[in-house]
Amino acid sequence: MTDLWPQIEPLLARVSKPARYIGMEGGAQQPQHAPDKVAWLLAYPDTYEIGLPNQGLQILYEIINERSDGVAERTYAPWHDLEALLRERSIPLFSVDTHRAASDFDLIGFNLSAELTYTNLINMVDLAGVPVRSADRRADHPLIAAGGHCTYNPEPIADFLDIVVLGDGEEVVAEITEVVGAWKRGARSDGDREIVLRELAAVSGVYVPSLYRPVYSGFDFMGLEPVSGGVPDLVEKRTIADLADFPYPKSQLVPLTEVVHDRLNVEVFRGCTRGCRFCQAGMITRPVRERPAEQVRSMVADGLRRTGYDEVSLTSLSTADYSGIESLVSDIVGASGDGPAITVALPSLRVDAFGVGIATQLQHGRRAGLTFAPEAGTWRMRQVINKLIREEDLYTAVEAAFANGWRRVKLYFLTGLPTETDEDTLGIAELARNCVEIGRKYAKSPSVTVSVGGFVPKPFTPFQWFGQNTIEELQRKINLLRDATRRMHGVQVKWHDPKATLVEGIMSRGDRRVGDVLETVWRNGGTFQEWNERFDLDLWLSAMAEHELDPDWFTHRHRTVDEALPWDHLSAGLHKDFLWQDWRDALAEVGLPDCRWTPCYDCGACTGYSIEHIVASATPPAGGSQGTGQDLSSSWVPVDLRSSTGVPV
Amino acid sequence: MRIRIRYRKLGKVRFTSHRDVARCWERAFRTSGLPIASTEGFSPRPKMHFGLALSTSHESLGEYLDLDLRDPESAEVDLEQLPIELSSHLPDGIDIDAVAVIDRSEPSLQESVTSCIWQIEVPGVTAEELVTAVARVLSASTLPVVRERKGRPVSDDLRPGIVHLEVLDAISTEESSVGAMLHAELATQPRSVRPSELMAAFDPPLEEGRVRRIHQFITDNGATREPLPPGAPSMVLTSVSAT
C-alpha cells in the first residue's frame, strides 16, 4: 500500500478548510488491512462537510470493519482547490482514515443521494486513477459500486458503475464482501471481472448494469434486456425486516471540523406510509420499521456520553409519527437530569398542534424558528399530492408556535405539481399572509419565510408519469408568488433555482443515453453542480445538444401507461398498477389514508417481501392518520393555546 | 476556581481551525465530566477563555486556555492527573502538559501576553541567504505594511513588533531540499505581528513552510515570564516531534 500523507501534507496549508482531509474523527475505526480481507472505500460524492454525517455510509463503515474478512475506510470529494494540486502532482484520490490511494481498495462504494452529484462521482473515479467507464476497467481496478436513493433509477450513471445496490445496505454488504473475497483469494485475470460481476448479479438487491442492454425503437426507449442468461429479469430491493437488529452507528463519527447536521443522530424508524405522492423516500423505503423505544433510549444515552454532543436528532421521514414519541422525548429530556441541558431536534415537524406540542417540550431556551411543510397552497392541491393538511391544521400549528414563544416560522412548498393552477400558487401567498396575521396576536414583528422548490417527478412514485414544468413555467409561478407577497409585511419568499430543477429532472428519469451528457459535462469542468456558485446550465444544455438529446423529451413530457420506463427492470416492491391507480386518484383529487392505521391497500412493499410494519402502537398518534380530523380533547396535547406570554407551559 | 492550562497542538491536528479546537474542548469537558462553570442565560456556554488564536496549519508547543471550574466540585478535581485525564478526551496531537490555579484577578491571556516565539521553516533559501535577508530586515528603520481594516487600507509599521530574528539551521523542508529555519520573537502588543506578515516583509518576500509557536511570554515591568505562574512544570522544548 502507499501512504500518501507525506505527499498530501504540504498541500494542505494551501487549501481551504484543510481539516476535512485529515480524518481523526472521534469514533473513527482503526482499519486493519490484510491481503485476504476485502477493502472497501466508502465514498460520498460531495464535500466532507456534506458527506461525513451521512448515516448510510457510517453504518456500512462499522458493519464492514466488524467483519473478519472486511475493512473499510472513507473518502469525500476534494474541493476544487485541492483537486487542482492533486492533479498537478499526480497524487490520486485518497482515504481520510489512513491516506491510502483509492486504487488500493477492492471496491469504491458511493452513496448517491442527489442527482447533481453524479459528475462528482465520475470525477472521483477518475481521480482514483480508474477508467471512468466500467467497460474500460480491468481485473486489478476496484469495483465501482453505488447505493442510496438515486439508485432507483441508476441508468443515467449506469455506464460508470460496476454494481448498483438497491435498498437497505446492512445485510447485502456482507454478501457482496463474501463474493468479492472469494474472487480476491483466487487468481485474478481480465476475464475474471465478468465472472465476479455475474456472481454479484446473483446476490439479491445487486444490479449489474453491464449485464443488461437498452433496447430502442427509433428514439423511443423500449426497455432493458439481459445480455445473456443467468441474470434476473427483475432486480428487487433489499429490506431489513427489523431495525432492532441493527443498532448502528454504534459509535457515530465526531468530526474535528464543522459539518452539516453536527449532532448525534439516532434513527428511530425507517420507512413512511403517509403516502405523499411526490415523495420518493416515502415510497421506496416501505414498510415502516420502528426501533424499539428502549433501544432508542440507550443509543441516545450512550451516544451523548461518548461523543460529547449536547444535541441529538431523532431521525426518520416523519418522527412525530413514532409510536410513543411523547414518552420517548420526555424520557430523553428527563434523563439529562442535573447534567448539561440536552437539545432534542426533530428533522421534520408535523403540521398540527401535536407537532408543535412536542417541539415545545424539546426546545428549551431560545426559540428561533420552526419549520412546517404544507407543500402546497390549497386544499385541492394537497389532495392531489396526498398531503392531507387542512388550512385549520396549519393555522393551529402556527398559532401554537407563536403562542409558545417562536417568532419565526418557515413554510416549505413545492411548485410545478400536477394540475397546479395559479390559484394554487397564490394560495401559498394567502397561507403565508394568514400565518403572519396569527403571529401578530403574539409578537410585534412575526416572520414567515416561504421556501419554494421546483417539483421533480421521481421514479417509483405515482408522479413518475408526470411531465415536469419547464424552467419558464416554474419561474413564472415563482414571480407570481413573489409579486403577490411583495407588500406583505413579514413574509419572505425564497426559491430553488429552476435551472437546477431542470437538470435534476433529466437525471431523475433519464435513461442510459444521458450518461454521455454526464461525461461531457464532467470533461468540461462541471463538478460540484449542486453548489449554486458552481452550477452552470449552459454546460448541461450544450452537452445535451452535442449528444442530440432533447431536454423536453426527458423531462417535460407526460409518460403514458404503456411506456417502458428506464427503471422497469428494478423493483422497490411497489406494484406498478398500484402506482398507476394512485396517479389516477391524484388527478381525481382523492386522498389515501396512512396504512399503518387503516386497512392494507396492497402497494406491494410488505406482501412482496413477506414483511410487515413494525409499529409499537396500533392506534394512530394524536391528530389522526393523516393529521386531519384532529380531536384535541381525546388525547393529551402538550400545548396551551391560551398562553400569550411566550412562557413554556 | 480558575485554572490555566498549557497545551500543544502538533501533527495532523494542526489543520483544524481555532474555532474547531474550541469545539473539541467543549466536547472534551462533557465527555470527561470536568465540572466546568457555565455562563447564565438561555444557552449556557462553558466558561473558557482562549489566548491568542493560532492560525490553521500552524503547530504550537505553548497554547494557553483559562477555565473556570464550578465550586464546590472544583475541590474534587485532581489537578495533577488533569493533564493526562483531559488529554485522553482531546484529539490526537492536542496534549495538555501543565496546569496551574490562577487568581481570578489575573489579566486575561489576550491582554497580558506580549510576545510569541516562532520557528518558521523557510523553503528555497540557504541559511547564508536567510542570514543576509534577516540582517536587512533588522537594519530597516521602518517596515511599512498595508492591511485592510473594515474595508479600508490602513498603513502600519511592522518593525517595532519584530523583537528578535535569528537563523537557526540549514534544513530540508517538505517543499524543497534547500531551506533554513528562522527563529522569530514577534510582539503581540500593541498589535500582533503574524508570521505570514513577517515573511511578506522580506524583500523579496519569503515563503512560509511549517510554522510552530514555541513560546508565549508576558513582559511586565521589565520582567519576562511565561503565562503559567512560577512553580508550574516548565516547558520541554526538546524531543518533541510531530506525528
Residues A250-308 have pLDDT tens digits of 999 999 999 999 999 999 999 998 999 999 999 999 999 999 999 999 999 999 999 99
* Residue B235 domain-assigned (yes or no): no
Are A627 and A389 spatial neighbours (Cβ–Cβ below 8 Å)? yes
Do B56 and B88 lie in a common domain? yes
Do B126 and B169 lie in a common domain? yes
CA B231 to chain A, closest CA, distance in angstroms equals 33
pLDDT recorded at residue A168? 98
Confidence of residue A584 (pLDDT cuts 50, 70, 90): very high
> Which residue in the set B15, B23, B30 is minimally distant from A18, CB to CB?
B15
Say if residue B240's pLDDT is above 80: no
The CA–CA distances, whole Å, from B182 to A242, A369, B61, B72, B211 equal: 62, 52, 16, 47, 10
Would you list which residues of chain B are within 8 Å, Cβ to Cβ, of chain A? 12-13, 15-17, 19-20, 23-24, 26-31, 38, 42-44, 56-57, 89, 91-93, 174-175
Query: B20–A254: do the CB atoms touch at under 8 Å?
Result: no
pLDDT recorded at residue B177? 78
Say if residue A1's pLDDT is above 80: no
Domain boundary among B73, B106, B139: B106
Are B34 and B68 spatial neighbours (Cβ–Cβ below 8 Å)? no
Are A344 and A360 spatial neighbours (Cβ–Cβ below 8 Å)? no
Do B85 and B118 lie in a common domain? no
Judge whether A260 is closer than 8 Å to chain B, CB to CB.
Answer: no
Say if residue B237's pLDDT is above 50: no
Nearest chain A residue to B56, by CA: A13
Q: Would the CA dihedral through B57, B62, B67, B72 be positive or negative?
A: positive
Domain at B175, CATH number: 3.30.70
* Residue B37 domain-assigned (yes or no): yes
Query: B15–A258: do the CB atoms touch at under 8 Å?
Result: no
Q: Which of residues 359-398 of A touch B (CB under 8 A)?
A: 365-366
Are B146 and B156 spatial neighbours (Cβ–Cβ below 8 Å)? yes
pLDDT mean over A227-250: 95
Confidence of residue A612 (pLDDT cuts 50, 70, 90): confident
More confident site: A326 or A368: A326
Judge whether A341 is closer than 8 Å to chain B, CB to CB.
Answer: yes
Judge whether A22 is closer than 8 Å to chain B, CB to CB.
Answer: yes
Query: A366–B20: do the CB atoms touch at under 8 Å?
Result: no
pLDDT mean over A149-153: 98
> Which residue in the set B28, B30, B89 is minimally distant from A310, CB to CB?
B30
Which of A257, A312, A338 is the best mutation test for B, with the most CBs of B within 10 A? Answer: A257
Distance of CA B106 to the CA centre of its chain: 19
Domain at B85, CATH number: 3.30.70.580
Q: Which residues of B touch A309 (CB under 8 A)?
A: 27, 30
Confidence of residue A609 (pLDDT cuts 50, 70, 90): confident
Query: B27–A309: do the CB atoms touch at under 8 Å?
Result: yes
* Residue B40 domain-assigned (yes or no): yes
Which of A8, A254, A256, A264 is the best mutation test for B, with the most CBs of B within 10 A? Answer: A256
pLDDT recorded at residue A586? 95
Query: B91–A26: do the CB atoms touch at under 8 Å?
Result: yes
* Residue B183 domain-assigned (yes or no): yes
Are B74 and B46 spatial neighbours (Cβ–Cβ below 8 Å)? no
Inter-chain CB pairs, A–B, below 8 Å: 65
Query: B91–A366: do the CB atoms touch at under 8 Å?
Result: no
Judge whether A258 is closer than 8 Å to chain B, CB to CB.
Answer: yes
Query: A257–B42: do the CB atoms touch at under 8 Å?
Result: no
Query: B57–A18: do the CB atoms touch at under 8 Å?
Result: yes
Bridge pairing between strands A220-226 and A212-217: antiparallel
pLDDT recorded at residue B207? 93
pLDDT mean over A475-489: 96
Domain boundary among B85, B106, B127: B106
Q: Which residues of A touch B36 (CB under 8 A)?
A: none
pLDDT recorded at residue B217? 95
Do B56 and B157 lie in a common domain? no
Query: A9–B174: do the CB atoms touch at under 8 Å?
Result: yes
pLDDT mean over A221-246: 95
Confidence of residue A106 (pLDDT cuts 50, 70, 90): very high
Do B98 and B115 lie in a common domain? no
Nearest chain B residue to A366, by CA: B42
Do B30 and B78 lie in a common domain? yes
* Residue B234 domain-assigned (yes or no): no
pLDDT in tens, A23-81: 999 999 999 999 999 999 999 999 999 999 999 999 999 999 999 999 999 999 999 99
pLDDT in tens, B44-59: 889 999 999 999 999 9
Do B178 and B208 lie in a common domain? yes
Do B102 and B116 lie in a common domain? no
Domain that holds residue B154: 111-225
Judge whether A10 is closer than 8 Å to chain B, CB to CB.
Answer: yes
Nearest chain B residue to A6, by CA: B174
Do B126 and B95 lie in a common domain? no
> Which residue in the set A6, A9, A365 is minimally distant from B42, CB to CB?
A365
pLDDT recorded at residue A630? 35
Share in percent of chain B as helix, strand, coil (round to 5): 25, 35, 40
* Residue B151 domain-assigned (yes or no): yes
Query: Can you spell out the DSSP letters for A252-294?
Result: --B-SS--TT-SEEEE-EE---S--TT-HHHHHT-S-EEPPHH
What type of residue sits at position A174? A
Confidence of residue A629 (pLDDT cuts 50, 70, 90): very low
Q: Which residues of A touch B175 (CB under 8 A)?
A: 10
Judge whether A81 is closer than 8 Å to chain B, CB to CB.
Answer: no
Q: Which residues of B touch A9 (CB under 8 A)?
A: 12, 174
Total domains present in chain B: 2
Do B8 and B98 lie in a common domain? yes
Nearest chain B residue to A262, by CA: B23
More confident site: A174 or B230: A174
pLDDT recorded at residue A15? 97
Say if residue A126's pLDDT is above 60: yes
Strand partners, B102: B2
Do B64 and B167 lie in a common domain? no
Do B188 and B208 lie in a common domain? yes
Helix/strand number for chain A, H first, E second: 20, 19
Judge whether A310 is closer than 8 Å to chain B, CB to CB.
Answer: yes
- For residue A330, give the C-alpha cell: 420526555
Going by C-beta distance under 8 Å and a sequence separation of 6 or more, which residues neighbour residue A257?
A17, A19, A20, A48, A49, B16, B17, B20
More confident site: A5 or A348: A5
Question: How far apart are alpha carbons A150 and A112 in whole angstroms?
Answer: 5
Average pLDDT, chain B: 90
* Residue B230 domain-assigned (yes or no): no
More confident site: A554 or B45: A554
**Poorest-confidence range of A352-361, A398-407, A516-525?**
A352-361
Query: B56–A19: do the CB atoms touch at under 8 Å?
Result: yes
* Residue B232 domain-assigned (yes or no): no
